[in-house]
Amino acid sequence: MSNQESPSHPRNIVLVGFMGSGKSTIARVLHQRLGYPVVEMDQILEKRAGKPITRIFEEDGEEAFRDMEAGLLCELDDPSASKRIISTGGGIVVRPGNREVLPRLGYVVWLKVPAKTILSRTSQTRHRPLLQTENPEAAVREMMEKREPFYEEVSNLALETTGLDSGEIASGILECARYHFAQLS
């Protein structure tokens, strides 16, 4: 990517999308390609809280988690902090204030994955408190319906990932991001 910096347009790549959409995996591939550091928001929040997300939800409640998440997002909203890959939690778009911040951080990519893929990817894992319900399928479909317009609203690119491997997804993102940043410089 160009070395030219514009303080008002940080050259971060921000990944948004539902739980299990592949944000962390793609963040790692982008890191390998670009060398930019990865900011894994959920990992930072777990470190700060000193416990896993499931326990934050159990002991402090979802609102407390959302407050921490929104606080961290505001910290990341620093125009001079550029060239990072920011991997967000799937619920980052729920709060309207977060939806204002996200586009300021850089090039926002929505990894778009169908509900059935999400369900098969998340069914074997227990670290997502919002899916620990009697009917995870209904939970996923309900949350997706609510969130998809929000992902759409904040993103520069909606990338349908079905049929693509992680290398192909990363290549698509890089090509589009390069074009986007070139237009700004």
Return residues touching ligand S3P (CB under 6 A).
19, 23, 42, 53, 89-91, 128-130
- Closest separation in Å from C-beta 18 to ligand S3P: 7
Phi/psi at 135 (5° precision): -130, 80
DSSP letters spanning 9-49:
B--EEEEE-STTSSHHHHHHHHHHHH-PPEEEHHHHHHHHH
d(C-alpha 177, C-alpha 183), whole Å: 10
CA 93 and chain centroid, separation: 9
- Closest separation in Å from C-beta 163 to ligand S3P: 21
Q: Which is nearer to ligand S3P, 103 or 129 (CB)?
A: 129
- Closest separation in Å from C-beta 126 to ligand S3P: 11
- Closest separation in Å from C-beta 93 to ligand S3P: 9
Q: Which is nearer to ligand S3P, 12 or 21 (CB)?
A: 21
Q: Which is nearer to ligand S3P, 17 or 106 (CB)?
A: 17
Q: Which is nearer to ligand S3P, 52 or 172 (CB)?
A: 52
| Count of other CB atoms within 10 angstroms of residue 84 | 21
Residue with tokens 């759409």: 152
